Amino acid sequence: MATASIFFSPVTPEEINATQIIEGQMARHLGIEISEVGPDFMRATMPVDHRTIQRIGILHGGASLALAETVGSIAASYCVDREAFYIVGQEINANHIRPVSTGQVHATATPLHLGRTTQVWDIRIKNDEDKLVCVSRFTVAVLKRS
């Protein structure tokens, strides 16, 4: 039995990468790309390289948060009628579990709550070996366009 989609309308990674992750924005600077959209999740990748590491050569915690907020924000924005509503971040937190010094990290955003005025997202970031790197919870406000 097919799972109903949480997203307001069908969307593909290619569409998102072409329209949401554009030149001049942080996601593009950090090399973040949406890699997969499932019926109840969205996944993004980010390289661990000179743009995303700290001075000791491991993934910067701020880069992890930027990845989490990017995939969470984009996923949240596709869970509403984008003609009538928009979303803004309200709060984000993270626990950094293990360091990463090479490869890519993969963030999966799944909703914990999809309400009329707020959404809460769980974002799990893993390394190329599928080991947990960071867990984040991200809350957004759903606002009516004027």
- Residues annotated as catalytic (active site), given as ranges: 69
CB 137 within 8 A of CB 93: yes
Give the phi and the psi of residue 69 in degrees, each rounded to 5: -70, -35
- The Cα–Cα gap between 134 and 107 comes to 9
Element (H, E) at 78: none
SS3 at position 44: strand
The kind and range of the H/E element at 69 are helix 61-77
